Structure 1
């Protein structure tokens, strides 16, 4: 799972996204638990989605990119006014399309990652993969399983730096 080849291939798919200052701002947004931020969560979702899609010959690059941007909303959902559960995918898509050129799969992944809480059915298999990975990663964070998996050590990609060997 954490081998250098997988991490290097993943990094190649998302390096331009990770080097963007707005994406890096996700580090400042707390996610499901106190010690996990939005960027860590999105990297975890993106990496699991990438691995699954790569293994089953789906579009791993789009899954990685859409997965990384799926929560690009940049606000604290605990204090935000409005219906975060259903509205943040739209906010994330607007933010992502202002920063990057996205393909149709990446857009679908971002806007439909909360399915079935949002009514529109995902159009692509990769969208289902990211939606499922998002829920699995949230549970892993809530139950602190992600610490046992050493997710932070393996996916702490800094801008403009290559993945380190472990």
Structure 2
């Protein structure tokens, strides 16, 4: 099996390795996020892609990598659990930020990234470029995590159906 690209990026690993050791972060692997991925897989994807963009743009790679990893640090099935305080889009970023603060010190930038990552589904505008990056990368990853497996499944179904068809005789 090919090792994921992020595991080979020593600069990225150095920024997040302490967070990946926390049981609270490892526990995200127990939750399905977008039907075909775990919440941990999703969080790492958001973190690593955001980190790559920030690195190319000369932005705060440490904050974006760490906050990207912690942006969905919550422990419930968002399809089932409902809150009186508001929608999942409103509640979970605040919950994730509070959970992250129990693990590590967060800067104002990191808090903004985590809390505002649901902008477009919520009204609070991100304050920093890094926050916008995580917001859009989160949406990109969510769509990709659903569509790629479905497209692969559809291709396999079509291929299997094609193989069962008989050629027409002349």
- The TM-score bracket by the shorter chain reads 0.7 to 0.9
Q: Is the 8 A contact 2:50 2:137 kept in 1?
A: yes
Q: Is the 8 A contact 2:72 2:92 kept in 1?
A: yes
User: Once structures 1 and 2 are overlaid, which stretch shifts more, 93-102 or 43-52?
Assistant: 93-102
- State whether structure 2 residue 2 is matched by structure 1 residue 2: no
- 1:134 aligns with 138
Structure 2 distance, partners of 1:4, 1:24, is 15
- 1:156 aligns with none
Q: Which runs of 4+ in 1 moved over 2 A?
A: 1-5
Gaps of 5+ in 1: 149-166
User: CA 1:99–1:81 in 2, change beyond 3 Å: closer, same or farther?
Assistant: same
- State whether structure 2 residue 106 is matched by structure 1 residue 113: no
User: CA 1:3–1:107 in 2, change beyond 3 Å: closer, same or farther?
Assistant: closer
Q: Is the 8 A contact 2:70 2:96 kept in 1?
A: yes
- 1:153 aligns with none
Count of aligned pairs between the two proteins: 146
1:93-115 deviations in Å (ceiling 9; x for gaps): 11111221111111100000000
Where 2:5 maps in the other structure, the secondary structure is coil
Q: Is the 8 A contact 2:6 2:48 kept in 1?
A: no
User: CA-atom RMSD, angstroms?
Assistant: 2.1
- 2:38 aligns with 37
How far the C-alpha of 1:2 sits from its partner, in A, is: 3.4
1:71-129 deviations in Å (ceiling 9; x for gaps): 00111111112221221101101111122111111110000000022211111100000
Higher RCO, Cα 8 Å, sep 6+: 1
Gaps of 5+ in 2: 153-170
How far the C-alpha of 1:144 sits from its partner, in A, is: 1.8
Structure 2 distance, partners of 1:71, 1:126, is 16
- 1:19 aligns with 21
TM (norm. structure 2) is 0.80
